[in-house]
Structure 1
Amino acid sequence: MINVQPGPSQLFHSVRDHVRQAFKLRIPELLPSGDEARELAQQTAKQLRELLAVPDSHEVFFLPETRSFIDEAMRVVGNSSALSHDVLLSNDVTLNPDTKLLVIHHTESGGTSLRPEVFTHLRDRGDDSLIAVDASLAWPYASLPFETIDAVFLEFHVGFGMPAGLGAAIVNDRWIQRHRTMRTSPEPIHPSLNLTWVSVLGGVLGDMLSRGIITIRRETEYKSSLLYHLLDQHPLIQPIVKEKANRSRTIIAARADDIGRIQDELRRHAITAGFAGNSVTFANFPSHSKEQYERLADILSAIRQ
């Protein structure tokens, strides 16, 4: 079976091995407040920094999930704004001068992603606003301009092929200082943190580092180019995002009049994708091999009038 749903998506190939190793090391028995837990979190954060080139200006905090943290930050700050890609890609972004926090998805489920200059433009126009970016659907492929971003949030069960239940907040000192008085800055080790998943993530990150981020990005681009090339010429299913510069490499969204036929054919070949209405979304993460994407392209190509 191939799972190309956006999330939870297909597990990274070595997750099961790292789960067994975590239990062998008795990681589930660690106390979140203990030295071993802190060392584990620090080592995994170091690997994440290395893979994604996270600068020293930003701290890494692991969380059970990030939705409540983002919601709490928006609630406490008071004057916040969640900007959609429809607005950000329109070249007509108007910001309220009183806005204190901008929350943005780097990549949306509709198949669009933001270029680095969008964040630079926001920083130039956003005055002293904090900028928080959800990179769940973008990483590890995307390269973010950290100099323009105060906080990055992500859930690892998406692009990193992890089980659900682990996220991270990567925040700079400006974010920490502003939120410390509001009690929404992350704790060093969250009391409900699943340390087993932190250990497993460390194993996955080690495997990704061995493969290399350049190779991961090249493979992601190969797979997305393969599918977009097919969809651009397909008589029954077309990409939703027409502007190539705005197309996501990690989330590929398409539309078909007879979406049921597409779904039935994929199901017949044991492929699970994200279906909603007359659209389908294909995730393209390191957990999806080139061979799996070539098979997906062959199956879609065979669906004709």
Structure 2
Amino acid sequence: MLNFYPGPSKIYPEVRNYLMDAYDEGILGAPHRGEQFVQLSRTVVGSLKRRLNIPQDYSIFFTSSATECWEILTQSLTKKKSFHIYNGSFGEKWYEYAKKLRPNAEGIRFDINEAMPVEELDISVDTELICFTQNETSNGTQVTASTILNLHNRFRDTLTAVDATSSMAGLNLKHIKADIWFASVQKCFGLPPGLGILVCSPRAIFRAKQMNERSHYNSLVSLYEKMLNYQTVHTPNTLNIYLLKRMLEDRPFIKQLDIDLTDRANELYEFFGQFTDFKLLIENEEVRSKTVLVLEANERLVEDIKKRALHHNIRLGNGYGPWQRNTFRVANFPAIANEEYEELKRFFLHYYA
């Protein structure tokens, strides 16, 4: 089965051997307060910083998912409110969840074919956290590095948090331009679901210490104190952390991965742009995602494409949110090999050219 679903997506084929190695090395039953896990945790944190260009003074934490990070950030970094900038379902869900915990949270939606309107944002001085999704998986849009820089420069005194679930470990993100980044590993990391990565700047940690919120098991200040000794507050997903260690050791550095994914994204957009029965949902090339392509057609054709593809052992992504019925999605993640995309192209040329 060729898997182009945008998460959980294809895992690296080497994971099969990693799993057996994890069993043989005894890591699966290792105490999470013991030296074997501490060494594993320390190694993974160091590899994440080196391989993904994360600043050395940023802190890294293990969570269960990116969704859990929404909760951690709201409860541990905001007393009053956050401000959410979104154009799709996942950014909106983050906003809606934040409002449940902090009813004063504010948000603004922008169009999927427009860049984030940084110059037009009216964010009050009592806002404690600015939140946005770098790569919106539901509609195939992205917030560019230059836009993130503009946001950083305009609201320099306010913490910024970035959901990078569909781009971390695939794109060379400029982590220094935001205070918090987080992702789950079932997309560009090429691993099974069940592990989240939360990256925090010294400013974010300082704010967490100031608030000193300790009412939850996953309070950020508690995560920080445990991670000083490379431990977690909860019993962690040791297996996935081990798989992450092995994956990082065997993959190229993020600069090369970014080049490869960008080149392939350009080729895929050019390829799909030639069809007339369906079209690219995002018309503005500047804001098109490099890791998730979204194609639009009438509902009947979308269902036909997905069914025919599945009959040929090709799994395409369903549409999501408002675009659930009239789109399908194609992941462009590092674990998916170039020859698999050639097979995908042959399928579309055969049936829909």
Say whether the fold is shared (TM-score over 0.5): yes
Which string of whole-angstrom CA distances, capped at 9 and with x for unpartnered residues, describes residues 10-54 of structure 1? 111211111110111111111111222111011011111111111
The offset of 1:127, in angstroms, is 4.2
Q: Secondary structure at the match of 2:68?
A: helix
**Are the equivalent residues in 2 in contact too, given 1:226–1:297 (CA < 8 A)?**
no
Which of the numbers 239, 243, 249 marks the counterpart of 2:290?
249
**Are the equivalent residues in 1 in contact too, given 2:167–2:188 (CA < 8 A)?**
yes
The offset of 1:82, in angstroms, is 2.1
1:182 partner letter:
E
1:53 partner letter:
N
Q: Distance in 1 between matches of 2:352 and 2:186?
A: 34
Which of the numbers 242, 245, 268 marks the counterpart of 1:199?
242
In the alignment, structure 1 residue 296 sits paired with structure 2 residue 344: yes
2:116 partner letter:
L
1:43 partner letter:
T
2:129 partner letter:
L
Which of the numbers 83, 86, 91 marks the counterpart of 2:85?
83
The offset of 1:146, in angstroms, is 2.2
Q: TM-score, normalised by structure 2?
A: 0.81
Structure 1: tracts of 5 or more residues without a match: none
The offset of 1:278, in angstroms, is 1.0
Q: Secondary structure at the match of 1:47?
A: helix
Which of the numbers 167, 172, 191 marks the counterpart of 2:196?
167
Q: Distance in 1 between matches of 2:260 and 2:69?
A: 33
Q: What count of residue pairs does the alignment treat as equivalent?
A: 303
1:173 partner letter:
P
Q: Distance in 1 between matches of 2:272 and 2:172?
A: 26
**Are the equivalent residues in 2 in contact too, given 1:166–1:197 (CA < 8 A)?**
yes
**Are the equivalent residues in 2 in contact too, given 1:134–1:152 (CA < 8 A)?**
yes
Question: Identical aligned pairs, as a percentage?
Answer: 23
Q: Secondary structure at the match of 1:133?
A: strand
Q: Distance in 2 between matches of 1:163 and 1:145?
A: 25
Map 1:114-129; keep pairs closer than 5 Å.
114-129=143-158
Q: Secondary structure at the match of 2:328?
A: strand
Structure 2: tracts of 5 or more residues without a match: 88-108, 320-324
Map 1:61-140; keep pairs closer than 5 Å.
61-76=61-76, 77=78, 78-85=80-87, 87=110, 89-91=116-118, 92-109=120-137, 110-140=139-169
Where does residue 233 of structure 1 map in the other structure?
A: 274
2:64 partner letter:
P
In the alignment, structure 1 residue 154 sits paired with structure 2 residue 183: yes
**Larger deviation, residues 184-193 vs 194-203:** 184-193
The offset of 1:206, in angstroms, is 0.9
**Are the equivalent residues in 1 in contact too, given 2:66–2:165 (CA < 8 A)?**
no
1:205 partner letter:
L
Map 1:46-57; keep pairs closer than 5 Å.
46-57=46-57
